[in-house]
Structure 1
Amino acid sequence: MLIIIGNQKGGAGKSTTSLALANYLTSAKKCPVTVIDMDYQQSLYQKFEKAKILENKEPYEVLSATLETFPVLKDVLIKNSKDVVLIDLPGKLDDDGLLAVFTAADLFICPFAYDEFTFESTMLFTLVLRKVNPKIKMVFIPNRIKANAKFEIMEEVNAQLSKFGVITDILPDRIDFQRINTFQTPISLYPVIIPVFEKIYADHLYGKHEIAG
Structure 2
Amino acid sequence: MVILIGNQKGGAGKSTLTLLLANYLATVRNRKLTILDMDYQQSIAAKAEKAKILENAPLYEVIPSDLKHFPVLLNVMDQDKNKPELVVIDLPGKMDDDGLIPVFLAGDIILCPFNYDELSVDSTLLFAMVIKKINNRAPLIFIPNRIKNTVKYETREEVDKVLAKFGVVTPGITDRVDFQRVSTLHIPAIVLPSVLPVLDLIYEQYLLREEHQ
**Which residue does the alignment assign to 2:67?**
67
The alignment status of 1:202 with 2:212, answered yes or no, reads: no
Native 8 Å contact 1:78 1:85 kept in 2? no
**1:36 to 1:65, Cα distance in 2 relative to 1, 3 A:** same
**1:209 to 1:30, Cα distance in 2 relative to 1, 3 A:** farther
CA displacement, residues 12-63 of structure 1 (integer Å, 9 cap, x when unaligned): 0000000000000000000111000001111110111011111111010000
Native 8 Å contact 1:115 1:153 kept in 2? no
* 1:204 CA displacement: 2.3
Deviates more, 1:201-210 or 1:127-136: 201-210
In 2: Cα distance, 1:78 partner to 1:180 partner: 29
**Which residue does the alignment assign to 1:139?**
141
The alignment status of 1:50 with 2:57, answered yes or no, reads: no
CA displacement, residues 154-207 of structure 1 (integer Å, 9 cap, x when unaligned): 011100111111111111110110000000000111111110000100022337
The SS at the match of 2:19 is helix
Matches within 5 A, 1:77-156: 77-78=77-78, 83-156=85-158
Amino acid at match of 2:52: K
RMSD of aligned C-alpha atoms? Answer: 1.8
**1:39 to 1:82, Cα distance in 2 relative to 1, 3 A:** closer
The SS at the match of 2:141 is strand
Amino acid at match of 2:18: S
CA displacement, residues 125-159 of structure 1 (integer Å, 9 cap, x when unaligned): 11000001111211111000111211111011100
The SS at the match of 1:62 is strand
Native 8 Å contact 1:77 1:85 kept in 2? no
Native 8 Å contact 2:173 2:194 kept in 1? yes
Amino acid at match of 1:193: V
* 1:78 CA displacement: 4.0
Amino acid at match of 1:188: I
The SS at the match of 1:206 is helix
- Could you list the runs of 5+ residues in structure 2 that have no partner in the other structure? none
Amino acid at match of 1:195: P
In 2: Cα distance, 1:160 partner to 1:208 partner: 24
Deviates more, 1:112-121 or 1:198-207: 198-207
In 1: Cα distance, 2:53 partner to 2:157 partner: 46
CA displacement, residues 93-113 of structure 1 (integer Å, 9 cap, x when unaligned): 000000000011111100001
Amino acid at match of 1:53: I
The SS at the match of 2:36 is strand
Matches within 5 A, 1:183-198: 183-198=185-200
TM-score, normalising length from structure 1?
Answer: 0.94
TM-score, normalising length from structure 2?
Answer: 0.94
